[in-house]
A and B are shown apart, each in its own frame.
Chain A
Amino acid sequence: MRRLLVATCLGSMAAFAVGSAVANEELIKMSQNPKDWVMPAGDYANTRYSKLNQITAANVGKLQVAWTFSTGVLRGHEGGPLIIGNMMYVHTPFPNKVYALDLSKDQQIVWKYEPKQDPNVIPVMCCDTVNRGVAYGDGKIFLHQADTTLVALDAKTGKVEWSVKNGDPGKGATGTSAPLVIKDKVLIGISGGEFGVQCHVTAYDIKSGKQVWRAYSEGPDDQLLVDPEKTTDLGKPIGKDSSIKTWQGDQWKIGGGCTWGWLSYDPALNMVYYGSGNPSTWNPKQRPGDNKWSMTIFARNADTGMARWVYQMTPHDEWDYDGVNEMILSDQQINGTERKLLTHFDRNGLAYTMDRVNGELLVAEKYDPKVNWTTGVDMNKSSPTYGRPKVVAQYSTEQTGEDKNTKGICPAALGTKDEQPAAYSPDTQLFYVPTNHVCMDYEPFKVSYTAGQPYVGATLSMYPPPGESHMGNFIAWDNKTGKIVWSNKEQFSVWSGALATAGGVVFYGTLEGYLKAVDAKTGKELYKFRTPSGIIGNVTTYEQGGRQYIAVLSGVGGWAGIGLAAGLTDPTAGLGAVGGYAALSNYTALGGSLTVFALPQ
């Protein structure tokens, strides 16, 4: 079937650069088949929405476990498997195994890949040895290993076709994010914001692994891949040296802005979208300036990497609010006009709705009412501070200063949402967002930089918002009005990627280990099942042999595994209250398994 498609494409493309268009057309076509799940977010738009509708709000209560699979690894399991025809590709955290399972043969392991990596990379990974999944394209499975090796595996055999080093773990660069295949290239970001890495997104040729372009988050214009005249920020050209002007001296060289989140792509516009992370260090006093382009949404030409537009959400970050969360692309009407939108739920607690063609800011609203570090974004186009968040002095760690503890900041550094991706249903035009409901104290102090060593410079303590005992919410969000439609309380942060389906059901996982199904319209809980360990993976669906399946990795860990394993403290209530915010370790233990659900036959 795929062969046939490739052949047809080849015929019609004749003189064009062959590999490129073929892989692209193939992937677009494949992502439109709801039986498969061919890219990390299901589609290029990162909607995490499936047209499958066998499982509905009416029957999801009868869901049962169909089969399970142990990965053999006991670390935080983020991301989710890919499903292509009969094959399922399951990845693991370090040592980054990949299993190819044949779904038509009782999940027999067709091949297994296990790289040999220096375990010294383990402690260089800031927050557990997670990996957010593999990508498919051109008959290959692409994996970004912890040691930053990007490897292309033959999807049929697991044989290594090529591999390339994307960074230097000796300097703190690591690989955690999932690649994305666009045309004849595979794109990948890099982690290391707590080690002062100058981070980038890089495109490699899918046939050879040769680097095609690399775009840094900070640095001179030729490293940023920007055009001072044509690249715009809220409609205005960014001008020359837009990044290095906003750093002191050479600090941009250890500036962070890491790119460990998700990549989105609009084939019609040929633009790729992603966000950059925190500027290094966490001590804002040590890096005066806006620190561009950390904390920024980038829209780039997929062929050349050249930036079309940028928007910095949190200039001169003072709280570690990385901007890496996914960009969800949707086509919706606003005030009667059809718009190509980009919706982004930032760590800083604001949800942004933008025009993805030109980067116009349409909506910026808090998606947790407890967010207090800002009173909101200046939406007045003629204001000199247009597009900037208004910072509340009381919660500014810059203004409070070094060696002083700024208390009661909401959200905490892990953000109102972290990497756990939201879902969008075109049926309801709602976004389903897993969120954290946690506040913090933050004390910055001076640190010195040593290559390959942590470069943090702040002390944090985290706790639920005063007067509340739950630390997470699962919400439905209207991106046109910037309002919460419904909100379900969760005891712990919701650290699992959501899934929306045409059956009117939305799925997500919890840190205690529950897979939950809720009504897309009302949020009413319809089903839950306790998997072997806490869930920080993303829920996936596929169809095999006429049955719709729901799959999710469990295996507690990640950043959620740091604070919550021990339980958070409430500094305002003293030690007696600790028990009130019970530790996650009272609910779950390490694990590593895939649980797959279906309706009874």
Chain B
Amino acid sequence: MDWLHAPEHFPTNPEDNLLRKIWFVGAAMIFAVSGGITLAADAVDPTAVKSEDGKYFDKEGTPTFKVAPDGTVDWYTYSGYRRYHSECHVCHGPDGMGSTYAPALTDSVKTMSYGDFVGVVASGRKNVSSSQENVMPALGDNPNVACYMDDLYIYLRARANDAVGRVRPAKKEDKPDAYTEAENSCMGRK
């Protein structure tokens, strides 16, 4: 599943970036639905073994966090913290801890693969029964979420592995230039 996050495999026209992201999300979905990805996050060592433009990957090639001994977190973990608390926390609670009506994502990502995560965020899910009606919206066409999918995953993976605590990470790596470029084109900014 290396290709899932390898940017060089995608078309390079920046205008297509959001579209590309959505397509990518759709592709991940197919995997999720067909059961093509079954690896659970906690089954895989989350240790970062390589990095590309400030983004870290584990030995399986899945995006992961990197926390230095002095507590400095990688940019994605920090960005994920911010985006999570803008887009996700109104249902999933502060710091991924859950609320009275949505699950704690710090637990969910322990048993959820990267592909499943991306698929559910993009396409939503419904859990409607006679006693419970939980509905996750499809956020794939929301650039505030879709452009930060990896940031969110990496932050929650760090939370699930107790690599970062409940508060805002105090120290962070600088925002990588390549990140800024990708963010601007994904968000449709000049």
Give residues in A with beta carbon < 8 Å to B. 74-76, 94-95, 119-120, 122-124, 126-129, 194, 282, 405, 441, 443, 445-448, 450, 453-462, 556-557, 561-563, 565-569, 571, 574-575, 578, 590
Expressed in whole angstroms, the minimum distance between the Cβ of A222 and any Cβ of chain B is 33
| Identity of the chain B residue whose Cβ is nearest the Cβ of A563 in the assembled complex | B94
Pairwise interchain contact B135-A123, C-beta atoms closer than 8 A: yes
- Which of A120, A458, A563, A574 is within 8 Å of B137, CB to CB? A120
**Candidate in B89, B101, B131, B135 with the most chain A CB atoms within 10 angstroms:** B101
Give residues in B with beta carbon < 8 Å to A. 81-87, 89-91, 93-95, 97-101, 104, 124, 126, 128, 131-137, 139, 141-145, 165-168, 187-188
A127 CA to B101 CA, complexed, in Å:
9
Pairwise interchain contact B165-A575, C-beta atoms closer than 8 A: yes
- Whether A569 touches B166, Cβ cut-off 8 Å, given contacts A120-B135, A445-B86, A561-B101, is yes
Known: A459-B168, A557-B100. 20 other contacts (CB 8 A): A75-B100, A76-B101, A119-B126, A119-B128, A122-B134, A123-B91, A128-B99, A129-B101, A446-B187, A447-B144, A448-B187, A450-B142, A453-B145, A454-B87, A454-B90, A456-B86, A457-B144, A459-B86, A566-B104, A590-B100
Residues of A within 8 A of B168 (CB): 405, 441, 459, 461, 571
A76 CA to B94 CA, complexed, in Å:
18
Which 10 A-B pairs rank lowest in CB-CB distance, beginning with the nearest? A566-B97, A561-B100, A123-B137, A459-B85, A453-B142, A122-B135, A562-B99, A459-B82, A571-B167, A566-B93
A561 CA to B100 CA, complexed, in Å:
5
Expressed in whole angstroms, the minimum distance between the Cβ of B185 and any Cβ of chain A is 13
Residues of A within 8 A of B142 (CB): 450, 453-454
Pairwise interchain contact B100-A76, C-beta atoms closer than 8 A: yes
- Whether A128 touches B93, Cβ cut-off 8 Å, given contacts A95-B133, A450-B142, A453-B142, is no
A128 CA to B102 CA, complexed, in Å:
9
Residues of A within 8 A of B87 (CB): 454, 456
A404 CA to B13 CA, complexed, in Å:
31
Residues of A within 8 A of B100 (CB): 75-76, 128, 556-557, 561-562, 565, 590
Pairwise interchain contact A565-B98, C-beta atoms closer than 8 A: yes
Residues of A within 8 A of B126 (CB): 119
- Which of A119, A443, A450 is within 8 Å of B133, CB to CB? A119
A34 CA to B128 CA, complexed, in Å:
41
Mind listing 30 A-B residue pairs with CB under 8 Å? A75-B101, A94-B133, A122-B135, A123-B91, A128-B99, A129-B101, A405-B168, A441-B168, A453-B141, A454-B86, A454-B90, A456-B87, A459-B168, A461-B94, A461-B168, A557-B100, A561-B100, A561-B101, A562-B90, A562-B91, A562-B99, A563-B93, A563-B94, A565-B99, A566-B95, A569-B94, A571-B168, A575-B166, A575-B167, A590-B100
| Identity of the chain B residue whose Cβ is nearest the Cβ of A441 in the assembled complex | B168
Residues of B within 8 A of A126 (CB): 90
Expressed in whole angstroms, the minimum distance between the Cβ of A479 and any Cβ of chain B is 33
Pairwise interchain contact A562-B94, C-beta atoms closer than 8 A: yes
- Which of B86, B90, B132, B137 is within 8 Å of A74, CB to CB? B132
Expressed in whole angstroms, the minimum distance between the Cβ of B173 and any Cβ of chain A is 15
| Identity of the chain A residue whose Cβ is nearest the Cβ of B139 in the assembled complex | A453
Expressed in whole angstroms, the minimum distance between the Cβ of A147 and any Cβ of chain B is 13
A529 CA to B123 CA, complexed, in Å:
44
Pairwise interchain contact A557-B98, C-beta atoms closer than 8 A: no
Expressed in whole angstroms, the minimum distance between the Cβ of B48 and any Cβ of chain A is 23
Pairwise interchain contact A566-B98, C-beta atoms closer than 8 A: yes
- Whether A562 touches B133, Cβ cut-off 8 Å, given contacts A575-B165, A578-B166, is no
Residues of B within 8 A of A122 (CB): 133-135
Pairwise interchain contact A450-B143, C-beta atoms closer than 8 A: yes
Pairwise interchain contact A569-B187, C-beta atoms closer than 8 A: no
Residues of A within 8 A of B98 (CB): 565-566
A365 CA to B7 CA, complexed, in Å:
56
**Candidate in B100, B131, B133 with the most chain A CB atoms within 10 angstroms:** B100
**Candidate in A457, A458, A562 with the most chain B CB atoms within 10 angstroms:** A562
Expressed in whole angstroms, the minimum distance between the Cβ of A116 and any Cβ of chain B is 12
| Identity of the chain B residue whose Cβ is nearest the Cβ of A575 in the assembled complex | B165
Expressed in whole angstroms, the minimum distance between the Cβ of B99 and any Cβ of chain A is 5
A416 CA to B81 CA, complexed, in Å:
26
Residues of A within 8 A of B124 (CB): 123
| Identity of the chain B residue whose Cβ is nearest the Cβ of A117 in the assembled complex | B133
A94 CA to B134 CA, complexed, in Å:
11
A336 CA to B95 CA, complexed, in Å:
54
Residues of B within 8 A of A462 (CB): 94
Expressed in whole angstroms, the minimum distance between the Cβ of B145 and any Cβ of chain A is 8
A124 CA to B137 CA, complexed, in Å:
8
| Identity of the chain A residue whose Cβ is nearest the Cβ of B183 in the assembled complex | A446
A459 CA to B142 CA, complexed, in Å:
17
- Which of B85, B90, B136 is within 8 Å of A127, CB to CB? B90
Residues of B within 8 A of A445 (CB): 82, 86
- Whether A454 touches B99, Cβ cut-off 8 Å, given contacts A119-B126, A459-B86, A569-B167, is no
Pairwise interchain contact A119-B95, C-beta atoms closer than 8 A: no
| Identity of the chain A residue whose Cβ is nearest the Cβ of B99 in the assembled complex | A562
Residues of A within 8 A of B167 (CB): 461, 569, 571, 574-575
- Whether A561 touches B90, Cβ cut-off 8 Å, given contacts A459-B85, A461-B167, is no
| Identity of the chain A residue whose Cβ is nearest the Cβ of B131 in the assembled complex | A74
Residues of A within 8 A of B134 (CB): 122
A123 CA to B141 CA, complexed, in Å:
15
Pairwise interchain contact A448-B143, C-beta atoms closer than 8 A: yes
- Which of B82, B93, B132 is within 8 Å of A565, CB to CB? B93
